[in-house]
Structure formats: structure tokens, C-alpha cells
Amino acid sequence: MIEEIKALKKELNAVILAHNYTRGEVQDVADYTGDSLELARKATQVDADVIVFCGVYFMAETAKILNPKKTVLIPDPSAGCPMADMITGEELRALKAKHPNAKAVCYVNSTAEVKAECDMCVTSGNAEKVMKTFAADEEILFVPDQHLGGHIAGLLGRTYSLWPGYCPTHAMLTAKSIEDARARHPGVKVMVHPECAKDVRDAADYNLSTGGMCRLARESEEKEFIVGTELGILHRLQKESPEKKFYPVTERLVCPNMKKTTLENLRDALKFRQHEVIVDEEIACKAKKAIDAMLEIS
């Protein structure tokens, strides 16, 4: 199957991008693995005709928005992000109408329609840097992740209007689960994703995007880490730092949508040029402004 994927990739002049949470075998066959920011950037740099995006739908949609002329395929189009679907374009328009002077900022985990309504987009890897560019007295509507928004507002000493969205996978983590993991591995530092709730973030040593976690693991003197994010990251952490040890806070932290991409449906995506990601041109054009504004800053 791996050989078939490589041959089809050549035939189509395709590139495979995979998120850090995808299955290990999918990460291994991909040309690039990364967090949302790294993959969005990569999508603007590749000169392949076809991008096969292994991850969830909003990520493939972002790649398409950045490359309107390229064919973007997603192996399983039902791989959504429940958090991204927690706010609709209509709901955001209603919120903006109530706050006519506010700037609307979306986490990249949002639909193209929501991005199209926003002044700025952020990822967990650049949110602090990007949000610093807003004046301290600017009114900010942050959607859809209340936790990433709350985390950045806390870091910058600001108050944002937070949409009550959240990640159901990271919601499985509790401060108690961090405490238990520390008891199992005394003295080992804990890193969690900023999509975790405040008490979980406070209980950890580091709040980092998945790309930030990989960097920390590679560059730190520490030899062991407790990891509070989706389990797929462990494959990359272990691959890049084989001499180090990584312990998940809990083995239950699986995002079912990130696991929908398999070698088989990846092979089929290339073989049958399916499932093409299409974004309405007008929406894509507006959404691109918010993504470009973010990429310019970070």
C-alpha cells in the first residue's frame, strides 16, 4: 500500500500533508507532518498540482483557500472538527451585529464561512504573537474556542468576548488527571495543548501547540515528558527524539476524526482523485484575507 501511494503520488504530482494527530503510518508516508500553522504555511510553498490533506476538514479547506488553483483532496470528507462546527456563519454575523465596533478573530479550527466573517485568524502556534498586534483597548470577539481565547487573553492581560466552543477530545483532561500523571511520573514536566480548560492549563508546566511540543521535546535538556494532547503526537515525538520518554496523561485522548485517514483511503484518494475540497469562491476570497493577515504576522 505504501509503495502504491508513493507511485500514485508521483504520477499525480501530488504532495501529502499530515497533521501531527493522524495515525503513525499516515504520518510516515506523508511528505510533511506538522501543526495547523506549519501545514497552512507549507500549503503556500509546495508546487505540486495536487495536495492530499490528511487531517480534518477545516485544515483541507484552509489549504484550498490558500491554493484556489490547486486540487485539494481529503481522504475521508466526513473527518470534521466538532469544535469548528460549534459556531455557524449566521451565529457569528448575529454576534457581530451586537458588537459593531469589535474585531472578530477566529481560531483556524473554524469553517470557511466563519473565517470569511473575521478580521483575523490565529492558530495555537501563533495566537499570542498575532493577538499582540491588536491595541489593548480593541474589543475582540474570539471564536470558537473559549479555552485558546481565554489562554491568550490571560497571557496578554486582556478581556475577550469568548464564544463557548471547546474541543471534546481535550475536554477529557482534568486537573486531577494531570495530578495523577505527575504521581505516576514524579519530577517529569507536563505539556498540554491550550485547547484544555484553564484548571488543566494551570496544572501543567507548558501550554503549547503540537508543533511547539515537538520543538520543546527536541531542544530541551529534559529526557521525559508527560503529554496532554491527542495521542497521535506521541508518534512524532518519539520519532524525533527516540532517546526520550513520553507518557500520555491518559490513553483515552483520541480524536476520532483525526483517525479517519487510513493508508487505504489515502491510497484511494490518490487513485480516484477523490474527495475534492471545494470552497465557494466569494467565501474563499474573504476567508483568505483573515488567513493571509495571520501569515503575514507570524
Residues that bind ligand 13P (CB under 6 A): 20, 35-36, 109, 123-125, 167, 193, 195, 209-210
Q: Which does 61 bind (CB under 5 to 8 A by kind): ligand SF4, ligand 13P, none?
A: none
By CB under 6 A, is residue 20 in contact with ligand SF4? no
Torsion from C-alpha of 122, 28, 263, 112, nearest 10 degrees:
10
Q: How far from chain centre, in Å, is Cα 70?
A: 21
Least separation in angstroms between residue 52's CB and ligand 13P is: 18
Q: Which does 82 bind (CB under 5 to 8 A by kind): ligand SF4, ligand 13P, none?
A: ligand SF4
User: Using CB under 6 A, which of the segments 27-35, 78-86, 176-184, 218-226 binds ligand SF4?
Assistant: 78-86
Least separation in angstroms between residue 254's CB and ligand 13P is: 12
Residue that is written with C-alpha cell 484553564 in the block: 198
Q: How far is 217 from 286, CA to CA, in rounded Å?
A: 37
Least separation in angstroms between residue 246's CB and ligand SF4 is: 18
By CB under 6 A, is residue 83 in contact with ligand SF4? yes
User: Using CB under 6 A, which of the segments 9-17, 81-89, 92-100, 197-205 binds ligand SF4?
Assistant: 81-89
Is residue 32 within 8 Å of residue 39, measured between CB atoms?
Answer: yes
Nearer to ligand SF4 among residue 83 and residue 249 (C-beta): 83
By CB under 6 A, is residue 81 in contact with ligand SF4? yes
User: Using CB under 6 A, which of the segments 122-130, 198-206, 215-223, 253-261 binds ligand SF4?
Assistant: 253-261
Q: Which does 36 bind (CB under 5 to 8 A by kind): ligand SF4, ligand 13P, none?
A: ligand 13P
Least separation in angstroms between residue 21's CB and ligand SF4 is: 6
Q: Which does 257 bind (CB under 5 to 8 A by kind): ligand 13P, ligand SF4, none?
A: ligand SF4
Q: Which does 62 bind (CB under 5 to 8 A by kind): ligand 13P, ligand SF4, none?
A: none
**Three-state DSSP string of the chain:** CHHHHHHHHHHHCEEEEEECCCCHHHHHHCCEEECHHHHHHHHHHCCCCEEEEECCHHHHHHHHHHCCCCEEECCCCCCCCCCHHHCCHHHHHHHHHHCCCCEEEEECCCCHHHHHCCCEEECCCCHHHHHCCCCCCCCEEEECEHHHHHHHHHHHCCCCEECCECCCCHHHCCHHHHHHHHHHCCCCEEEECCCCCHHHHHHCCEECCHHHHHHHHHHCCCCEEEEECCCCHHHHHHHHCCCCEEEECCCCCCCCCCCCCCHHHHHHHHHCCCCECCCCHHHHHHHHHHHHHHHHHC
Residues 109-128 that bind ligand SF4 (CB under 6 A): 109
Nearer to ligand SF4 among residue 167 and residue 269 (C-beta): 167
Least separation in angstroms between residue 211's CB and ligand 13P is: 6
User: Contact residues for ligand SF4 (CB under 6 A)?
Assistant: 56, 81-83, 109, 167-170, 195, 230, 255, 257-258
